[in-house]
Amino acid sequence: MTTEHWWRSAVIYQIYPRSFADSNGDGIGDLRGIVEHLDYLHDGTPRSLGVDALWLSPFYPSPQADFGYDISDYQAVDPAYGTLADVEKLVEGAHQRGMRVIVDLVMNHTSDRHPWFLESRSSRSNPKRDWYVWADGRDGGPPNNWLSSFERCGPAWTRDETTGQFYLHSFTPQQPDLNLRNPQVRAAIREVWGFWLKQGVDGFRIDVAHRLFKDGQLRDNPEPLAAYRRYHRHPELRQYNLDQPESHELLRELRCFLDGHGPGLLLGEVPISDDSRLVEYFGADGMHTAFHIAFWEQPWDAAAFRGTVDRLSALARPDALPTYALATHDIPRTVSRYGLRQARVAAMMMFTLRGLPCVYYGEELGMADSPPERALDVDDRDGQRVPMQWEPTGTGFTTGTPWLPFGRDIGTANVLVQDAAPDSSLNLYRRLIRYRHASTALRFGDYGSLDSPAQTFVYRRRSPEEELLVALNFADRPIVLAIGEGPARLELSTDAARSAGPVSLRSVPLGALEGVLLRVG
Ligand code: GLC
Ligand code: CA
C-alpha cells in the first residue's frame, strides 16, 4: 500500500451507505453492512469485483434534508450509519484487501442545524455571523437573482426572521453556504481534513468543488439558471455564484495538505460542462482528478461520446486523468438512460478509456432506476438510490423494511443470480476490471480515437509493452469494420457468447450493440 501514484490505475467504486447493506434490520444501509461485504468488492481472487478504491458518500451526522450532504457535525458518524469505530474497521478491512477509502468532503455548506449556523443566525453581532454568507434584501426580495441548484427550491436565498437578513444556500434552505473567505472557517475546515486523514482515509471526493466561492460583490447572474441540468445547457453563461478563481487557491492548499500526509487522492465533483474550465480543476497542483461531467450527459450516440472524450483529452493538462462514471447518486442509472445491452457497451468504454473508471454500486448488475411512489428527495433522485440487490428477495440488503423499495428488476439484477451466470453483467464487469488490471496500455497507455463508420467508436490504447484497439458498435445492427492491416486477437467482447481468438484488422465483425477489445499483433 505504498505506491506513490496508486490512484492513476485505480478503479473506484462508489458506495451510497444508506443503500448498500443494512446490518441491523432498520432498513437503512450502514457501515457494518459495508464491512460485511468487502470480500464482494475485492477478495484478491477473480471471483470478486476487484475494485481498488471505495468512495463513500456522506455518513456524518445529518438531519438528512439532502440525505447526508447536509452535515451537522463534520467529525462524527450519524448513529443510523454506525460509529467511528466502524469507520476504523471499514478502513482496516479495506486496506487489508488492498483497497483505499476516500470519503466525501462537503465544504460548500453545512446543515442549518450545525452549531456554527445556529450561532451565526442568532444575531448580527455573533462572532460566527460572518462564517456564512448574509446579506440585506433588495426591494423587499432576495439580495440578487441567484437560484438554488435544485429547481424546486427557487431562489438561493432565504430570509431569516431573527435578524431580517438573507442567507445564501446553493442547494436547499437547510444547507447554508459557508463563507470560505473567512480565515476562521478555513481553519475549521482544515481541522476536518486532518481529522479524517487521522482516521486512515486515503483521500476525498470534493463535493461541488466549483461552488466553494462566489462573487464577493454578489452581482446578479447574466441569466439566472437553476439546477445542474439547466445550467449545463448554457455553459457559455458565466455565473457569478460559481467557478470563481479563489476555489483553485483553496483546492491547491488542500492538495498540499494531503500530499504532506502521504499518497492520497482528491477526486473533484465539478459540474461544469465547459471542458476548458473543467480542466483547470485537475492535474498539476490541482485536484488529482475530476469527473468528466459531459461524459454522462451524452445521448446514446457514438460521435457524441467520441467528441466529448477527444475534446477533454485535448484540453486536459499533460498527465492529467479525468474520472469516467456512468451513473452516480445524482445521475440516473445507465440501463435506464440507454438500455440493457447499451449498458454493457458503455461499461467496456468506461473501463478502457484513459482515465479512472468509477462504478456506482449496482451498476455492475445493470440495476435500473426505480422511483418510489412518494418522492423523498428534493431533486427526484430516489430512483437511482434504491438499495443494492444482493439476491432476489431483498433480504440480502435488510431483514426489515428497506428505506426505499427495491426495483422491479430485482429478480434478475441481483448478485446471487448474476454470480452464477457467466454472461451476466456482473461477470462482464469482473472480466473488464481484471483485464484492465493486467494491461499496461489500459492503465498507463496513451489514447487516440480513429475515424470509423457512423455509430461506431474506435480507439487505440498503447503502452511500450502492448497495443490494444477498442471497437464499440452503438447501433442495433451488425457491422464489419476495417480498422487496419495485420493480425489481431479478440480478447474480450460484451457478448459473452463470442469467444476469444484471432481476427484480421481488415474485417472485424461487430454484432448489434457489441463492444470488443482487440490486441494488435
Ligand atoms: C453534490 C452531491 C449531491 C448534493 C449536492 C449538495 O452535487 O453529489 O448529492 O445534493 O452536492 O451537497
Ligand atoms: Ca442499518
| DSSP per-residue letters across 382-449 | GGGGPPP--STTSTTT-SS--SSPPPTTTTTSSHHHHHH-TTSHHHHHHHHHHHHHH-HHHHH-EEEE
State the Cα angle at 181 between 175 and 187, rounded to 5°: 85
State the Cα angle at 45 between 40 and 49, rounded to 5°: 40
The sign of the torsion formed by the CA atoms of 255, 258, 259, 263 equals negative
Identify the pLDDT of residue 42. Answer: 98
Residues 6+ apart with CB under 8 A from 117: 110, 111, 131, 132, 176
> 380 CB under 6 A from ligand 1?
no
Residue-wise pLDDT for 140-151, tens only, equals 999 999 999 998
User: Which of 14, 62, 208 has most ligand 1 atoms within 8 Å of CB, for mutation?
Assistant: 208
> 171 CB under 6 A from ligand 1?
yes
Nearest atom, ligand 1, residue 70 CA: 12
Strand, coil or helix: 163: coil
> 377 CB under 6 A from ligand 1?
no
Identify the pLDDT of residue 238. Answer: 77
Residue 240's alpha-carbon distances to 89, 174, 215, 293, in angstroms, are: 43, 22, 5, 20
Identify the pLDDT of residue 2. Answer: 42
Active site residues: 207, 269
Nearest atom, ligand 1, residue 170 CA: 6
Q: Which residues of the chain have pLDDT under 70?
A: 1-4, 226-236
Grid cell, residue 362, equals 449496482
CA gyration radius for the chain?
Answer: 23
CA of 502 to the centre of ligand 2 (A): 50
> 69 CB under 6 A from ligand 1?
yes
- Nearest one of 33, 103, 25, 27 to 71, comparing CA atoms: 103
Strand, coil or helix: 320: coil
Grid cell, residue 128, equals 460566527
H/E run at residue 355: none
d(CA 466, CA 468): 7
CA of 81 to the centre of ligand 2 (A): 6
> 467 CB under 6 A from ligand 1?
no
CA of 283 to the centre of ligand 1 (A): 23
- Nearest one of 119, 121, 169 to 143, comparing CA atoms: 169
Residue type, 213: F
Identify the pLDDT of residue 463. Answer: 98
CA of 384 to the centre of ligand 1 (A): 14
CA of 376 to the centre of ligand 2 (A): 18
Nearest atom, ligand 1, residue 271 CA: 7
Grid cell, residue 219, equals 452581482
CA of 176 to the centre of ligand 2 (A): 28
Instruction: Answer whether 242's CB lies under 8 Å from 226's CB.
Output: no
> What is the CB neighbour count within 10 angstroms for residue 211?
24
Residue closest via CA to ligand 1's atom 9 equals 330
Identify the pLDDT of residue 478. Answer: 98
> 364 CB under 6 A from ligand 1?
no
Question: Which ligand has the minimum distance to the alpha carbon of residue 398?
Answer: 2
Helix, strand, coil percentages, rounded to 5, for the chain: 30, 20, 50
> 330 CB under 6 A from ligand 1?
yes
Nearest atom, ligand 1, residue 66 CA: 10
Residue closest via CA to ligand 1's atom 7 equals 208
> What is the CB neighbour count within 10 angstroms for residue 311?
15
User: What residues pack around ion ligand 2 (CB closer than 5 A)?
Assistant: 22, 24, 26, 28, 30
d(CA 191, CA 218): 28
> 70 CB under 6 A from ligand 1?
no
